[in-house]
Chains A and B, each alone.
Chain A
Amino acid sequence: MHQEYTVIEGDFVNAGTASSSVKKTLKQLGVNPQVVKRVVVALYEAEVNAIAHAYGGKVLVDIDADKIHMVVADKGPGIPDIALAMQEGYSTARPEVRDMGFGAGMGLPNMQKNVDRLNVTSEVGVGTTVDMEVDFI
């Protein structure tokens, strides 16, 4: 099953729309609730990041019998130092992101804790792609 969502820059009100929809789908499919939680927490953090740091992007979701594959690809400034960005507490978020309850440098670490495979690729001035997989079993 393939799903696609569009993320719009600065659209905080709709941050989580994709995650919310994926949550409903996985629940309908009878996926273990604890696995569902891991999936949607990671995807939600990635969505918030794309809205907060980039100029919009796409969320691509593929659900198979045994796993979910999620790609959040944004057009944006990119991440110059991915290792630094993965460190808990490191953040470049603007005040308005912090006003929404995010921007404390926990997004990428939170994603890593919740997924089975995480791959972050980024090109400065072009954008960032977060590729995540969670096994259902």
Chain B
Amino acid sequence: MTLREVVKLLNGTVYLGENRLDEEVETGFASDLMSDVLTLKETPMLITGLCNVQTIRTCDMATLDIVVFVRNKKPTPDMVELAEDNDMVLISSSYSMFRAVGMLYEAGIKPLY
């Protein structure tokens, strides 16, 4: 599905990366633990409730560039600025992690393992 469809499905708000919304996304990974994110070899869409500068830094190191913040967490201006350097997409949704992940899975987003 496209990122635009992800935003619509999760009733989300786009904080960065409007220009990339027609891109397709196939896999997702959900975690609030950044050390788990750093173990990934693949580059899925990240669904997380951890909303701070380290979320963006971790994605930079792990070469992930699509983040969906759940539980109504909204990226701060310094996070957006840092994410801009890496051409990332930042989306925020008011849904819980469980709800967001369930909906994405049902819509065809695949898990890594």
Contacts and interface: CB of A to CB of B under 8 A. Distances in A.
B63 A101 contact: no
A107 B38 CA distance: 9
B44 to A, nearest CB: 14
Contact of A41 (B32, B50, B53, B61): B61
A110 B61 contact: no
B54 interface: yes
A80 interface: no
Interface of A: 12-13, 15-16, 19-20, 23, 33, 37, 40-41, 44-45, 48, 99-102, 104, 106-107, 110, 113
Q: Which of B32, B33, B55 has the most CB of A within 10 A?
A: B33
Interface string B23-65: 0000000001111111100000000001011110110111100
- For the residues of B in contact with A, the DSSP-based class is helix
Contacts of A102: 33-35, 54
- For the residues of A in contact with B, the DSSP-based class is helix
Contact of B54 (A16, A40, A110, A113): A16
Contacts, number: 65
B35 A15 contact: no
A84 B2 CA distance: 45
A99 B34 CA distance: 10
Contacts of B63: 33, 37
Given A16-B60, A20-B60, A40-B61, A45 B54 contact: no
B35 A16 contact: no
Given A100-B54, A101-B37, 13 more contacts: A12-B53, A13-B53, A15-B57, A20-B57, A23-B60, A37-B63, A44-B57, A44-B61, A99-B52, A101-B55, A102-B54, A106-B38, A107-B35
A106 B36 CA distance: 8
A118 B36 CA distance: 20
A37 B61 contact: yes
Contacts of B32: 101
